[in-house]
Amino acid sequence: MNQPASDSLFSRRQRAFLLSADPELAEMFGSLWPPETMELTVFERGRGAIEFLFNEPPDLLVVDNRLDDISGKEIAGLVKSENVYRQLPVVMVLDEGDMGEPWDWNQVEVDDFLVRPFTADEARDRVNLTLCRAMRALDANPLSKLPGNTSIIQRIQTLIDAGEDFALAYCDLDHFKSFNDKYGFSRGDEVLMMSARVIVNTIRGLGGVKSFVGHVGGDDFVYIVPPDKAEESAKRVIEAFDSIVPHFYDEKDRLQGFIRSTDRQGNERTFPLMAVSIAVVLNLDGRLKHYGEASAIAMGLKKKAKENPQSSYVLDQRQD
């Protein structure tokens, strides 16, 4: 058997409920992960687990369709009918005989299934995949669908721990709030979607490089590229952004080059058209030890970039 899931797969210990009266299934699942990675609680009857499930919801629910008192389909329906628990991943264990007719997976609200007979390796990897898929879906930014803060932090720390050289760019839209206040959230969301596409397409256009793009939230984005692509990518993002963003303004505002809106103190003032500030942190020769260092460095660089009223980037020029 391959090595069990390690702590690096999940950021904290997971809690799983197994609803099954099959002792062999319980023994198999109990052997798949070390206790510090997965805490498994077994219930032999489905209805007896429901109260525990809603009072102390686990991170994962595995339901055996062989339960005598309630079907796996019913258990999944009960869980997914509660909005609070809709994100709880559910895996159903079926028998070959259950697969005689096609299942209507729109009606059976499970996230994956296992069909007996299956190996311990298969069960472990399918469950790990289900948990990772659920975490990615929950973390994804609902507007841009890009990976969110949890995934961003995990990716940065993974690269740091692996000792890889990389450039981490933080992109912040300048004067976005004033645009949002004047034109409304709908047009503001269009700008955010445009910004996400600009960054994704720019990084993809570099060709053949290991990269990552994430959406921290609001008007903050990040991307990761090799260090030798840091400056080129920043220039390309700025060029594309500056060529597109004026078209989101009404003609009068676009021609005059500014808008009138309200500042954070409630005073009306003029604001220039939106720009993008990019702070690029370089991790070379293992100089970073924790993702928090990258964030702290980027804040200082971003402040410097924002001193320029136009779109600009600042590269990390620290020396060891």
pLDDT tens, position by position, for the chain (320 residues)?
Answer: 444 444 456 657 888 999 999 999 999 999 999 988 899 999 998 888 887 887 778 888 999 988 888 888 888 888 877 666 777 899 999 988 888 888 888 788 888 999 999 999 999 999 999 988 887 777 778 888 888 888 899 899 999 999 999 999 999 999 999 999 999 999 999 999 999 999 999 998 898 788 999 999 999 999 999 999 999 999 999 999 999 999 999 999 999 999 987 777 777 889 999 999 999 999 998 899 999 999 999 999 999 999 998 999 999 876 54
Rounded Cα gap, residues 318 and 316, in angstroms: 6
288's torsion region: left (phi>0), alpha (psi -120 to 50) or beta? Answer: beta
Q: Are 297 and 316 in contact (CB under 8 A)?
A: yes
Q: Same domain, yes or no, for 163 and 308? A: yes
* Residues whose CB falls within 8 Å of the CB of residue 82, separated by 6 or more in sequence, listed in order: 54
2 within some domain: no
Q: Give pLDDT, residue 127.
A: 92
Closest of 194, 174, 178 to residue 278, by C-alpha: 174
Q: Same domain, yes or no, for 132 and 31? A: yes
Asked, as a colleague might, if the bond just before 117 is cis with ω within 30 of 0, I would say: yes
1 within some domain: no
Q: Give pLDDT, residue 6.
A: 45
CATH of the domain at 33: 3.40.50.2300
Residue ranges of E strands in 146-199: 166-174
- The SS3 assignment for 215 reads strand
144 within some domain: no
Q: Cα 156 to the chain's mean position, in Å?
A: 13
86 within some domain: yes
Output the pTM of the full model: 0.67
Q: How many domains does the chain have?
A: 2
Q: In what order do the strands lie in the sheet with 14-19?
A: 38-43, 14-19, 60-64, 90-94, 112-115
- Phi and psi angles of residue 247, each rounded to the nearest 5 degrees, phi first: -75, -10
Closest of 205, 78, 219 to residue 144, by C-alpha: 219
Closest of 77, 72, 109 to residue 93, by C-alpha: 72
Which of these three, 120, 139, 158, is where a domain ends? Answer: 139
Q: Give pLDDT, residue 156.
A: 94
Host domain of residue 56: 14-139
Q: How many residues does the chain have?
A: 320
Q: Same domain, yes or no, for 160 and 127? A: no
Closest of 67, 49, 62, 78 to residue 14, by C-alpha: 62
Q: Are 86 and 61 in contact (CB under 8 A)?
A: no
Rounded Cα gap, residues 254 and 245, in angstroms: 10
Beta strand 212-217 with 312-315 is: unpaired
Q: Same domain, yes or no, for 294 and 167? A: yes
Q: Are 109 and 76 in contact (CB under 8 A)?
A: yes
Q: Same domain, yes or no, for 244 and 296? A: yes
The token pair that represents 221 in the structure block: 């984005």
> How many CB atoms lie under 10 A from the CB of residue 93?
24
